[in-house]
Structures are given as C-alpha cells and as structure tokens.
Structure 1
C-alpha cells in the first residue's frame, strides 16, 4: 500500500526520484516496472505498479466500446499510458507531454492512494484540496462515509 504525501522536486531532465520508503516495495511488487498516465478527470498524473495497471486496463478494456464515457476514459487513461522503470537511482522519467498535461514544472506532490500514486504540481495540489473542501461543504455526507469509524 502506498501512503503519504511527499513534497518532491523534478530534475532538469524531468525525472522524479521515488521516496526511499517506497523504493523497496516497488522493486518487490513489480521489479521497478510501472505505468504513468494522466488522470481522466483531474490535472494530475497516475503512477501504477505494472501489475495493478494491467488489472485496471483489463477492466477498462472490458467496458462497452461504443459508450462515449468508455471512449473518453480509454483515450485519456490508456491512450496516455507510458511504461516506465525505476533507474539505478530510483527515478522515473516523466515525459514532456505528461508534465505539460499536469502543469508540472519543478515542485510536485506525490500522494499515495493505496495501489497507486497521484503526482501533482504543488500549486495545483493545494488549490485542488481547497476546492474539494468548498465543494464538500455544499453536499451532504453520504451515509457510507458518515458511518465510517476512524
């Protein structure tokens, strides 16, 4: 499980160093092989271990191909997917196209989401969190969340 929020920096070549606490886990579960893609709804990137990505890709591929929502999801999520592998310094290269999509310049946030990571431009991350707080105040909390014990 990938947890935690990490403040990181992209180097001049567009490489992201994976935090030390996740390096062993990534090498163990996927031998450093990962997939990077865009989030279909948010201006961020998704980084998955190859095995988890393959499971997700199979589910998306099984959706009705003529449905407009399926087309959108496939074109964004699968169409932008890029295989990547941790290099000897535990870095992942983020292509210019993906960095441009997420407005990533130098400072980023890498947020563990369980079986994957979200990669955000630092400024966009903070704006998104504030926006989610505002939006959540306008809606009732679903019972499935209000019944959750922390």
Structure 2
C-alpha cells in the first residue's frame, strides 16, 4: 500500500496532507481512518491503515509483559496510538505529543514500507540516510539479494 518517499509540509496547527497517491487507496481500504503511534526503535512515527493497526495491536497486546523491555514497547506503541481520520482535503491532525516525540517540524518525509508508513522530520531522515552502517549484516539479511 505505501511505497516510496514523499516530502510533505506540516502546517502550524500540526496538520499534514496525505499524499494524493495514497488518498483513494486509503479511502477504499479503511475509509480514510488511520492510526499513528511512536516508533519504538527510532524517533519517527508509524502510520497504519486502521485494519492493519488492529493486527499490530493484537500482536503487541498478546506479548507476556513480565519483562521491562516488553512493557516499554507496549507503553510506547499502544499507549501513544491515536486514531486519525482524513478530512475532506486529505489532511490529518498529528497529536502534539507525537510531534514532539519525533521532533517533527514543518518539513516532513513520509516513507512507505508497504503495510505501514514512517513519518520523519526531514532533518532526521536526511541524517539517517547519511549514517555509515559498520555493523555486521543481520543474519536475516545475509542471503538477501535485491
């Protein structure tokens, strides 16, 4: 559903327009209802179509929360999940607490990752692209050819 990277602007009220290439698809798939939440690994936001979010929420809720790390992720992701609905102009209002968490300002980048999208500040996204990754390739990726 989500593919590619798009530069977008956020207005002073915290509204951003969903790129037109996604609006019709999202209207058909979930009546324009989305869920935005904190990404637990990086300072960006995850955006899910409502039906996709239900699966993610069920998976997170089912995790045994005896470990502090599980509770942290549940609190961050489930506790910050906010339902959004596109208005007539295809805009959504991002909650202030999530804008602050991800350091979002006027210039944003929406990055499509198939079933979800990530929303980054343009500055953070550009810094991520410039990072040198000297870590050993994860075992899951070692046989991957693109």
State the TM-score, normalizing by the size of structure 1.
0.92
Question: Alignment length, in residue pairs?
Answer: 146
- The separation in 1 between residues aligned to 2:121 and 2:138, in whole angstroms, is 29
Aligned to 2:37: 37
- Picking from 132, 137, 141, the partner of 1:141 is 137
User: After superposition, what is the alpha-carbon deviation per residue over 1:39-89, rounded to whole angstroms, capped at 9, x for unaligned?
Assistant: 011110111001111100000011002221210111100101101101110
Superposed CA RMSD in Å reads: 1.3
Unaligned runs of 5+ in 2: none
Aligned to 1:83: 83
Q: Kindly report structure 1 stretches of 4+ aligned residues shifted beyond 6 Å.
A: none
What is the SS of the residue equivalent to 1:3? strand
- The separation in 2 between residues aligned to 1:59 and 1:129, in whole angstroms, is 30
State the TM-score, normalizing by the size of structure 2.
0.94
Unaligned runs of 5+ in 1: none
